[in-house]
Amino acid sequence: MAGIPVLAQRLMKIQAQSIAKSISNIGRKITEKLNARVSELDRLPQNVVSAADAPRVFRQIISRAKETLKKLLIRGEFEDYPNENQMHCTARLFKMLNEYAEALSADIPSKAGFLLEEIAILEEYSDIGMPNFLSRTAFLTLLQMKVKGVSALPHDFVTKVWSCMEYVILRILGDATENYPLLQARTRRAAHNLVEKMERKSHQFVKEIIEMEMITDYTCNPNYMKTWAELMNGQKAFMEVIHNLSKPPKICIKLVGDVDVSHLRGKHEGLIEPAFDIKMRLISYWKCVVLRLVDALALHVRYAVKNLVDHELESEVLNGVVEGPRNEIHKMLEESPSTTAKRARLKKSAQLLKESKEIVGNIIDKINVIPKQE
């Protein structure tokens, strides 16, 4: 009735309306893919084009790595590695410190042959003098023996701490330089050498605090006298069990537990009381020693880690890498072939998506000028 031209015009309008319903969705998806490609390109490492620019780019890499290390090692922020416990270094440090403190405190006085060691030392260091004065030399000898017995524990703690730190530091620097194989190898080597140097300093610090504990006995901690007085309250009952043979030869001593004193009855006359006194002094003083050994290492480790991140790391790595010729630094910052290929692929994809976006935009413009079918 209207003819083929009218039918063709009507069909064209119907087709345009059908395309219009989906073309906007196609345009949105193209835009999303284009944005994704551009973001991926932005995340690629900076491509250094000149030797003069290489040191500046390298310092930017190290600065970003330092900021990540501050988050992990100093501030304890783990959102970048939520499920990797080995990267949660502050939490692991806290756990290691607690285990170290427990190991030091777990050195409970021996119940077997109670007081025999103290009596032997008092006999060895006996001298002409007032009978109610304890031998300071005897006390220091016992203290030195006790300190030597635990001297390996702080060294073990330091080794564990720096092993944990090294893992995190090498991981972060490795991630920061993963697109520059030559630079990555040089940076990791410099960081490894730095951690070794810091660990040696920590072991030297431990050696010094152990030696300080061995050369003198001193504390201003009021708990020392308080604990000693409480322990000495049991001396009278202890001596009564020693002398009264009708009583069972076992007694419970505070902070020691149940001990058998049958080996002391009728022996070591005049030495049991001072031996008991020196034993209680050593138990009381050891609490102060443990506190010092734990506190000193906790403060030292926190300071050493902060100093490493804030100052030592950058200067050590810069000395190991940037001190070379500029063209050598530029060569180390050359991106890997895989990164170059990825960059070219992303650029090509982004260009095709831009062209597609323009074509879709033109189609939408043409559709918009066609009047809608009544």
pLDDT grade, residue 374 (50/70/90)? very low
pLDDT in tens, 214-236: 998 999 999 999 999 999 999 99
Instruction: Let me know the angle formed at the C-alpha of 309 by 303 and 313, rounded to the nearest 5 degrees.
Output: 120
pLDDT over threshold 70, residue 161:
yes
Q: Identify the band that residue 373 occupies on the pLDDT scale cut at 50, 70 and 90.
A: very low
pLDDT of residue 327: 53
Q: Quick: pLDDT tens for 88-131.
A: 989 999 999 999 999 998 866 666 789 999 999 998 887 656 66
pTM for this model (two decimals):
0.78
Contact 44, 339 (CB under 8 A): yes
Give CA 176 to chain center in angstroms. 19
d(C-alpha 258, C-alpha 235), whole Å: 14
Q: What is the pLDDT of residue 307?
A: 95
The pLDDT assigned to 332 comes to 76
Could you tell me what percent of the chain has a pLDDT over 90?
Answer: 52
Mean pLDDT score, 37-45: 82
Inter-axis angle of helices 136-150 and 181-215, nearest 10: 160
pLDDT single digits (tens) 273-299 = 999 999 999 999 999 999 999 999 999
| Range name among 171-180, 196-205, 262-271, 319-328 with the lowest pLDDT average | 319-328
Average pLDDT, the chain: 87
Distance CA 212, CA 170 (A): 34
Residue 291: closest CA among 233, 228, 220, 232: 220
Token output for 374:
């009544």
Which of 118-127, 233-242, 365-374 shows the lowest mean pLDDT across its residues? 365-374
